[in-house]
């Protein structure tokens, strides 16, 4: 594991200013991933359970990321720090690209006979309820979800065992997504700080949002498994649950990082993992579709 670098709180930027390291840039890049017959049905560790779980997460992304963008955009005019303003612009662009690429993946999942449209309608209802909350509460929800996506991104980039279990036809999507989630992991948090977000708000919505995400992801995973009953295996299910929640599991290993969010002086860049961005970005450029490599103003920096 990489050594965690903790920022010196005495020299940190003022609350509401960007605290993203100077060696990190936030610029969107369209990749143009394609998913066809070359993608195995069970593309993660050849596991029925794990593959459906990751497919379920992908279904959550397009609408979820639009919610993130809208919650930040509502405060765009109140941002005073020029660096943070520029980062918000990059954040919005990156989330838009994530939605496009996961829409393509979700079409692939739909083509396998999964009830993607029905799940999307259910997600729309849940997000519709969230959109009735005060704007700053919506931003607090976004901060909590961005913390969770940043945790998962860091885990994916740190752990070769997780990456290597992904089929090579699917791995570039998730590595690219992890890179960009790492780049912009503090943007919504810095905006939240600038517009007067409180500790109580972010702590409350961290608990609430974690529960809601667990329920929705579990429900979507279950729906996909029910639509694929002939491949159900108790052994695969037990193995998959252990892989996620057992000793050093992909999710259980994230619990300490999840808890860090409740520190009163928490900031996403307390854990400076920017070295991971540089390590993987050169590799992922090889997977940009030809039509997006040249003449595309949205370039990997």
Between 8 and 284, residue with greater pLDDT:
284
Between 11 and 108, residue with greater pLDDT:
108
In a domain, 92, yes or no: yes
Residue 79 — φ and ψ, nearest 5°?
-80, 125
pLDDT bracket for residue 36 (50, 70, 90): confident
Closest to 71 measured CA to CA, from 155, 119, 7, 139 = 139
pLDDT tens, position by position, 58-95: 999 999 999 999 999 999 999 999 999 999 999 999 99
β-sheet bridge partners, residue 166: 44
Closest to 84 measured CA to CA, from 38, 18, 25, 148 = 18
In a domain, 299, yes or no: no
Q: Which domain holds residue 281?
A: 48-289
pLDDT tens, position by position, 95-123: 999 999 999 999 999 999 999 999 999 99
Question: Alpha-carbon distance 124 to 42, whole Å?
Answer: 27
Instruction: Locate 52 and state its tokens.
Output: 């459906």
In a domain, 13, yes or no: no
In a domain, 23, yes or no: no
Residues 88-116: b if buried by 16+ CB within 10 A, e if exposed: bebbbbbbbbbbebbebbbebbbeeebbb
* Residues above pLDDT 70, as percent of the chain: 92
pLDDT bracket for residue 37 (50, 70, 90): confident
pTM for the model stands at 0.91
Overall number of domains in the chain? 1
Interval 9-31 mean pLDDT: 78
Residue 218 pLDDT greater than 90, yes or no: yes
Q: What is the DSSP letter of 4?
A: P
In a domain, 36, yes or no: no
Tokens 């959550």, residue?
A: 60
In a domain, 141, yes or no: yes
Closest to 212 measured CA to CA, from 98, 121, 130, 120 = 130
Tokens 């639009």, residue?
A: 66
Residue 300 has a pLDDT of: 35
In a domain, 103, yes or no: yes
In a domain, 296, yes or no: no
């Amino acid at each position: 594991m990489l050594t965690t670098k903790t920022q010196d709180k005495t020299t940190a930027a003022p609350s509401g200013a960007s605290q993203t390291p100077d060696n990190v840039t936030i610029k969107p890049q369209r990749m143009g991933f394609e998913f066809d017959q070359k993608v195995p049905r069970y593309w993660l560790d050849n596991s029925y359970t794990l593959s459906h779980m990751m497919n379920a997460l992908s279904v959550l992304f397009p609408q979820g990321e639009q919610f993130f963008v809208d919650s930040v955009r509502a405060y765009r005019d109140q941002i005073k720090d020029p660096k943070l303003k520029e980062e918000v612009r990059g954040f919005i662009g990156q989330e838009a690209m994530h939605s496009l690429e996961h829409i393509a993946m979700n079409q692939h999942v739909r083509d396998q006979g999964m009830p993607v449209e029905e799940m999307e309608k259910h997600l729309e209802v849940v997000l519709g309820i969230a959109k009735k909350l005060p704007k700053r509460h919506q931003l607090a929800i976004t901060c909590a979800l961005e913390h969770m996506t940043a945790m998962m991104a860091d885990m994916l980039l740190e752990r070769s065992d997780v990456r290597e279990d992904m089929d090579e036809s699917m791995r570039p999507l998730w590595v690219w997504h992890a890179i960009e989630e790492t780049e912009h992991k503090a943007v919504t948090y810095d905006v939240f700080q600038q517009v007067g977000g409180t500790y109580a708000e972010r702590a409350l919505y961290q608990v609430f949002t974690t529960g809601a995400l667990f329920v929705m992801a579990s429900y979507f995973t279950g729906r996909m498994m029910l639509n694929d009953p002939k491949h159900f295996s108790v052994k695969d299910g037990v193995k998959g649950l252990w892989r996620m929640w057992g000793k050093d599991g992909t999710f259980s290993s994230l619990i300490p990082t999840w808890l860090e969010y409740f520190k009163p002086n928490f900031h996403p860049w307390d854990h400076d993992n920017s070295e991971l961005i540089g390590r993987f970005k050169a590799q992922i450029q090889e997977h940009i579709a030809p039509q997006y490599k040249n003449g595309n103003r949205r370039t990997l920096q």
